């Protein structure tokens, strides 16, 4: 009888440990969950500003601590990936991106170069363009009916009008920094200040760790 009681006690103890571990696992999973109040999707990242594009640009901006951050549409998954309103895990978000191992680089660009970059970004607008840029730290007002390379009406960086001759520090994935998508026509490799020891995936994970709720912010690409 005593042996039976001891066995029952041992079983209860083991069960308690298992249940305890289950609770810890559930709590840990809940802690990693991100809430989004808007749909996050790659569907339109090649043609228009999206919450997804803004979020990734913000992540690069925060990691690099530069004046501005940009990321081209080609960095996002080529197939449609959508995270609906609700909750998601950081690992699910990473699926919206290709080339997550790309290092983040900082490039020194003048205001004139930045304007040319935005014109290059918009030359097919509103049609799909793998070189379409999403950005953080800027507000770009455009005339969508303007001629090619004449769509940008104004650019503000951190609230101030861009100064053509002033040099700004722009963070972006390394391939873009090296001139991918014909951006080599606007800046040279010698304009690269440095490459960070952080990748696109690192930047996004750091951002999601401190932003547990995703909402739509103010428009950065403003239609004039």
E strand intervals along 43-200: 68-72, 82-83, 86-88, 103-110, 133-136, 138-142, 152-157, 160-161, 167-173, 192-199
Distance CA 34, CA 94 (A): 13
Q: What is the pLDDT of residue 7?
A: 46
Does residue 21 carry a pLDDT above 60? no
Question: What is residue 151's DSSP assignment?
Answer: -
Bridge partner residues of 155 (DSSP)? 140
* Closest to 53 (Cα-Cα) out of 221, 223, 222: 221
Residue of higher predicted confidence among 32 and 62:
62
Does residue 30 carry a pLDDT above 90? no
Domain at 36-223, CATH class: alpha beta
Q: How many residues does the chain have?
A: 224
Domain boundaries, the chain: 1-32, 36-223
Mean pLDDT of all residues belonging to the chain: 89
* Closest to 177 (Cα-Cα) out of 26, 64, 86, 16: 64
Q: Could you give phi then psi for residue 181, rounded to 5 degrees?
A: 65, 30
Using CB atoms within 10 Å of the CB of residue 58, give its burial: 0 to 12 exposed, 13 to 18 middle, 19+ buried.
buried
Whether residue 107 contacts residue 177, with contact meaning beta carbons closer than 8 Å, is answered with yes
pLDDT band, residue 86 (cuts 50/70/90): very high
Token pair listed for 77 = 């998954």
Q: Indicate the SS3 state at residue 130.
A: coil
Q: Give, for 40, the enclosing helix (H) or strand (E).
A: strand 40-41
Q: Global pTM?
A: 0.86
């Amino acid at each position: 009888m005593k042996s039976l009681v001891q066995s029952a006690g041992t079983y209860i103890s083991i069960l308690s440990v298992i249940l305890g571990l289950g609770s810890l696992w559930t709590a840990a999973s809940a802690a990693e969950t991100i809430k989004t109040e808007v749909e996050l999707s790659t569907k339109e990242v090649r043609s228009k500003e999206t919450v997804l594009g803004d979020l990734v640009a913000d992540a690069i901006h925060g990691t690099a601590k530069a004046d501005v951050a940009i990321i081209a549409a080609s960095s996002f998954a080529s197939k449609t990936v959508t995270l609906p309103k609700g909750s998601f895990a950081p690992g699910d978000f990473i699926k919206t991106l290709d080339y997550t191992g790309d290092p983040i680089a900082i490039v020194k660009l003048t205001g004139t170069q930045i304007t040319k970059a935005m014109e290059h970004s918009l030359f097919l607008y509103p049609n799909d363009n793998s070189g379409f840029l999403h950005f953080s730290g800027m507000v770009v007002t455009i005339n969508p009916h303007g001629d090619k390379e004449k769509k940008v009406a104004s650019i503000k960086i951190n609230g101030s009008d861009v100064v053509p001759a002033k040099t700004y520090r722009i963070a972006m994935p390394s391939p873009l920094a090296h001139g991918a998508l014909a951006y080599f026509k606007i800046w040279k490799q010698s304009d690269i200040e440095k490459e960070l020891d952080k990748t696109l995936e690192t930047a996004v994970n750091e951002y999601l760790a401190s932003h547990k709720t995703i909402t739509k912010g103010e428009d950065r690409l403003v239609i004039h």
